[in-house]
Amino acid sequence: MANTNIKYESRVCPSCGCSDTGNVSVSSKHPAEYFDLDDLQSHWNGFFKEKVIFSYSRCAKCHLLYSPTFFSDGQLEALYAQMPDNTAGVPLEALEKTQKGYFNILKEYKFEKGGYLETGPDIGLFTKNIISNPALKKFWLFEPNRTVWPTLSKLADSDRLHLSAEMFGFSEVPDQSISVAVMIHVLDHLINPVEILKKLRMKMAPGAVLAVVTHDESSLLAKITGNGWPAYCLQHPQLYSPKTIRALMKEAGFNVVQVQRTVNYFPVTYLFKHLLWAFGIRINVPSWDALQIPLKLGNILTIASPE
């Protein structure tokens, strides 16, 4: 620990570019900036006893909560490359219900005829809700995990579906051709969110709809659990609130039309088991996934449109 030779990146505010931050707002007992890279690897994957995160501070200008010290691009690439799949634990049916909830908000909007673009669709739990919309002619899915491609390619005919392994390799997408774009739990992970959003904006038609799901650092859950909130982790160089995501979208040339708190579904037995575990009681609870309850876990859905 405390290897001062290891250099992480120094960052200004990734939203407004201001370098002025106040005191540290959230950190761990031993902040990540004092660890060397090898030691952070096990913390990255979540297999650890003690939580270690890079300290988060608040931008003095736009109030975004971000880590002024974070992994470099190259370090991140290596960390993501060795990461195991992370959907384990919650049954598929509950995950599907959560995604359907996002879709039910988005479907209130009118889609112009055009293309659909999604980054990180995984197995397409959200995508399959929207795929039958007659306004959408072509589907551009950007998914680096090739093991899910066989599942994704079943969603539509090959002449309508375009798969790419590069998360933000939008160059083949014709400018102003996209009428709906979706990013679910992507924006919290990016060290350069404004740059990526600007790239995306060029591909979007006037009047197009962008739907983004992120964590909400201003949520009650985040306030109650403090630095124990699961979204405070090594994979999130910044976290948004309804206020700061509006400012970020504006920087990238989008107008926010709606920010809504969303629900995640969990089976009752899953929650009961974890509640018992929290009290140190490790027993097997019979798995009965039929009864699922919605919880507001500090996620927000932002709907925006190119300016």
Q: Which one, 15 or 55, has the nearer CB to Zn ion?
A: 15
Q: Which of 8, 13, 130, 302 binds Zn ion (CB under 5 A)?
A: 13
Q: Which of 8, 11, 15, 141 binds Zn ion (CB under 5 A)?
A: 15
Task: Output the smallest distance, CB 230 to Zn ion, in A.
Answer: 24
Q: Which of 2, 3, 7, 18 binds Zn ion (CB under 5 A)?
A: 18
Q: Which one, 43 or 236, has the nearer CB to Zn ion?
A: 236
The closest of 142, 144, 174 to 161, measured between CA atoms, is 142
The closest of 197, 212, 213, 215 to 306, measured between CA atoms, is 197
Q: Which one, 61 or 160, has the nearer CB to Zn ion?
A: 61
- CA dihedral for 265, 303, 116, 148, sign (positive or negative): negative
- Which amino acid makes up residue 19? S
Size of the site for Zn ion (CB under 5 A): 8
- DSSP conformation letters of 158-204: TTTEEEESSTT-GGGSPTT-EEEEEEES-GGG-S-HHHHHHHHHHHE
Q: Which one, 64 or 106, has the nearer CB to Zn ion?
A: 64
> With CB under 5 A as the contact rule, which of the stretches 11-19, 179-187, 190-198, 222-230 interacts with Zn ion?
11-19
Q: Which of 16, 156, 181, 213 binds Zn ion (CB under 5 A)?
A: 16
Q: Which one, 114 or 193, has the nearer CB to Zn ion?
A: 193
219 near Zn ion, rule: CB under 5 A: no
Q: Which one, 152 or 256, has the nearer CB to Zn ion?
A: 256
Task: Output the smallest distance, CB 15 to Zn ion, in A.
Answer: 5
Measuring CA to CA, how many Å separate 6 from each of 12, 30, 32, 154, 198? Answer: 19, 16, 11, 45, 32
Q: How far apart are CA 37 and CA 34, in angstroms?
A: 10
59 near Zn ion, rule: CB under 5 A: yes
> With CB under 5 A as the contact rule, which of the stretches 6-14, 44-52, 201-209, 266-274 interacts with Zn ion?
6-14
The DSSP 8-state label assigned to residue 83 in this structure reads P
Q: How far apart are CA 198 and CA 249, in angstroms?
A: 9
239, 221 contact by CB (below 8 A): no
Q: Which one, 2 or 60, has the nearer CB to Zn ion?
A: 60
Task: Output the smallest distance, CB 113 to Zn ion, in A.
Answer: 37
72, 35 contact by CB (below 8 A): no
Q: How far apart are CA 214 and CA 185, in angstroms?
A: 5
Q: Which residues bind Zn ion (CB under 5 A)?
A: 13, 15-16, 18, 59, 61-62, 64
